[in-house]
Amino acid sequence: MSTHVPLSSGSPLLELAGVCRSFGGVVALEPTTLAVVPGEILGLVGENGAGKSTLIRLISGVLSPDHGEISWQGRGVELDSPRRAIDLGIATIHQELEYCGHLTVAENMLLGERWPRRWGGRIDWEAMRAEAGRRLLRAGCEVAADVEFSRLTAVEKQLVAIATALARDARLLILDEPTASLAAPDARRLIDHLKTIRDSGVAIIYVSHRLDEVLELSDRIAVLRDGELVHLAEAEALDGPDLVREMVGRPLQQVFPRTRDDSSTGDGPSSTTGNVLLRVQNLSRNGMFEGVSLDVQAGEVVGLAGLVGAGRSELARAIYGLYRPDSGTMELLGQPWQPKSPWDALEAGLVYLPEERKRHGLVADHDVSSTLAIGIRDRLTRWGLVREAEQRRRVTGMISAYDIRCSGPGQLVGTLSGGNQQKALLARWLERDPRVLILDEPTRGVDVGAKAEIHSVVDRLAAAGHGVLLISSDLPEVVGMSDRVLVMSRGSLVAECHGETQTEREVLQAAAGLAPVSREAEGC
């Protein structure tokens, strides 16, 4: 579907014409036509997996399009490498910045350029610092140029990255979730900063999940859904609910399955004294989380929302036994819970599905069979030896039960799609039949179909009396799937939303460290 492109003014800086890209048969981006003009901020929104990152990677030269043309200032260009994009004036600032931590700010800013020298070819460090200082100042960024880069705060790193890009005549800035790990005041600082940059004639593509920011900042907003550009309009013509509707594209009830009986948990935690599977009290670990208390009951999905860096995963890892908390107590299935290692957790019936499956979960060149079998290795072994026939049987069973699409147990797991990898990781824990599951971003980078399957698995688990702690940055998911949502911000639990207060807005407000919207939530 092609969308009419309203141009605000002037000739476009960047134009995409019918650009598309797919990965191994899965379409990541349908043919897309889009233009960006100088001096505008184009907001780019969409659910996780809607194709935003593919689009960005195409523009920044990381990926090449399968079809379609990209033109820059009216001329067709081939963006075959990130370097090429940078040379043209397209600067991408990712959430995870690449920098040399042990070098100074000035050196990082001038890396790859000529450094000022004095007689005898000596580097003029003073001039370098002054030059870097000038660039920072011009970009309106107050950071000392001679400190070690790794000592900067997150927002300072972002600002320095922007200043570096601007100093190299960047005409188009792409910001990918720049405020994701920033506290509210820092995010404010960045947003104000971006407005001044826009006014100087630079175009900005701003990708964010924080819709309020996008609405405030953008001149136009593009909405992606399932790899398709479904909406493109002036920001003034839109409001939050419009955006959400466009992003989701279907009523919420259909998205999230719910076969459970709502009444048992619908009244909130106070009414249920029943079967508490996991209880955490006053758990703290220095620099990670502080005084966290929560319960997970049988048959309940507890959502744990919060921004990146709020300490959710850190909390989960402490419960799972990867490291010890400094203080506080835990109970699992009514017993005191002091895990020495994740193995204790697995034996006791607690599993943790980690956040980044490539880094924390998989070995890309191991086959599906061994990836699955490792989860139930203790049950497959007798006298230290694996029962091969039993393993084959169980693995085949898992592949069909969880609908892991692969050519067979021998396929390398790295060649599976993201969704099937995730299903494999989930399957190997579910095969243990755990009582409590902690799922950390279970649907990140997963295609729509797999996402729905994972959701229905979670629902079935809860219906069968398991306890699920669902950590997710996908707001509709965490709100729609959970019986109640706990919100973490900067290492502490700041709110508990259930019943009427269990809305995306409420959760987002709390996560961002703002006061709750409605009065009922204040009591939590």
Partner 1 sequence: MRVVALLVLLVLELAVFASVSGADMSSMSGILNYLELKFLDLVPGLAPVLVLSVGMTLVLVTAGIDLSVGSMLALVAAVMSLFDGGTAFWFTAVPLGLVVGVGLGLFNGALVARLDVPPIVATLGTMIFYRGLCQLVMRDAERAPFFDVPGYEWLGGFSGALVTVGLVAGVGGWFWGRSRWRRELLLVGGNRVAARYAGVPVDRRLMETYAVMGMLAWVAATCFTARNGAVNASTATGLELKVIVAVVLGGTRVEGGRGSLIGSVLGALLVAVLDDGLREAKGWSDEHLPFEISHFRYLLLGLLLVVGVWLNTRIGHRDEG
Partner 2 sequence: MLTRMTAPVRRRMVWLLAGNMGLLLLILACLLPGDTVPGAVSRLGTVLVDTPRNIAPEMLAAIGLTAIIWTGAIDLSIGSVMAVGGAVFAMGYSHGAPPLVCFGGCLLAAGGLVAGNGLLARWLGIPALIVTLAGLAAYRGLALVLVNVGVPGFDGNLTVPEEIFRVPGRDWAVWFLLFAVGGAVWCELFGRLPRLWLAHGSSPAACRLHGLDLSRLAVSAFLFGGFYLGLGATLYVSNQQTIDPARMALGFELSVIAAVVLGGTNIFGGEGSFLGTLLGVLFLYLARQALIYAFDDPHARQAVEGALILGVIGFDCVLHRAAHRMEELK
Q: Looking at 164-172, 196-204, 341-349, 502-510, which segment touches partner 1 (CB under 8 A)?
A: 341-349
Q: Looking at 52-60, 295-303, 352-360, 456-464, which segment touches partner 1 (CB under 8 A)?
A: 352-360
Binding site partner of 256, from partner 1, partner 2, none, Cβ cut-off 5-8 A by kind: none
* Smaller CB separation from partner 1, 215 or 351: 351
Binding site partner of 82, from partner 1, partner 2, none, Cβ cut-off 5-8 A by kind: partner 2
Residue with tokens 């910045």: 97
Roughly what angle, to the nearest 10 degrees, separates helices 125-138 and 154-167? Answer: 100
Instruction: Spell out, one character per residue from 61 to 100, where the chain touches partner 2: x when CB under 8 A holds, - when not.
Output: ---------------------xx--xx----------xxx
* Smaller CB separation from partner 2, 155 or 161: 161
Positions in 138-197 near partner 2 (CB under 8 A): 146, 148
* Smaller CB separation from partner 2, 23 or 125: 125
318 binds partner 1 (CB under 8 A): no
374 binds partner 1 (CB under 8 A): yes
Q: Residue 33, class by beta-carbon neighbours within 10 Å (0-12 exposed, 13-18 middle, 19+ buried)?
A: middle
380 binds partner 1 (CB under 8 A): yes
Instruction: Spell out, one character per residue from 382 to 421, where the chain touches partner 1: x when CB under 8 A holds, - when not.
Output: --xxx-x---------------------x-x---------
* Smaller CB separation from partner 1, 410 or 499: 410
Which tokens sit at 423? 């299903």
CB of 147 to partner 2, least distance (A): 9
Tell me how far apart the alpha carbons of residues 389 and 394 are, in angstroms, rounded to a whole number: 9
* Smaller CB separation from partner 2, 143 or 224: 143
Amino acid sitting at position 420: N
Tell me how far apart the alpha carbons of residues 177 and 94 are, in angstroms, rounded to a whole number: 7
CB of 388 to partner 1, least distance (A): 7
CA distances from 58 to 54, 95, 375 (A): 6, 17, 37
Spatial contact of 320 and 352, defined as CB atoms under 8 Å apart: yes
* Smaller CB separation from partner 1, 217 or 426: 426
Sorted by sequence, the CB contacts under 8 Å of residue 385 that are 6+ apart come out as: none
CA distances from 358 to 181, 309, 415, 417 (A): 21, 19, 12, 12
111 binds partner 2 (CB under 8 A): yes
CB of 316 to partner 1, least distance (A): 11
Tell me how far apart the alpha carbons of residues 464 and 284 are, in angstroms, rounded to a whole number: 31
CB of 388 to partner 2, least distance (A): 32
Length of the chain: 524
Residue among 280, 441, 428 at smallest CA distance from 356: 441
CA distances from 55 to 60, 227, 523 (A): 9, 9, 43
Coil, helix or strand at residue 126: helix
Q: Considering only residues 322, 348, 412, 452, which one is a binding residue for partner 2 as defined by CB under 8 A?
A: 322
Spatial contact of 275 and 500, defined as CB atoms under 8 Å apart: no
CB of 121 to partner 1, least distance (A): 36
CB of 154 to partner 2, least distance (A): 15
Tell me how far apart the alpha carbons of residues 81 and 60 are, in angstroms, rounded to a whole number: 8
Q: Give me the residues that bind partner 1 (CB under 8 A), please.
A: 322, 341-343, 345-346, 352, 354, 359-363, 365-367, 370, 373-375, 377-378, 380-381, 384-386, 388, 410, 412
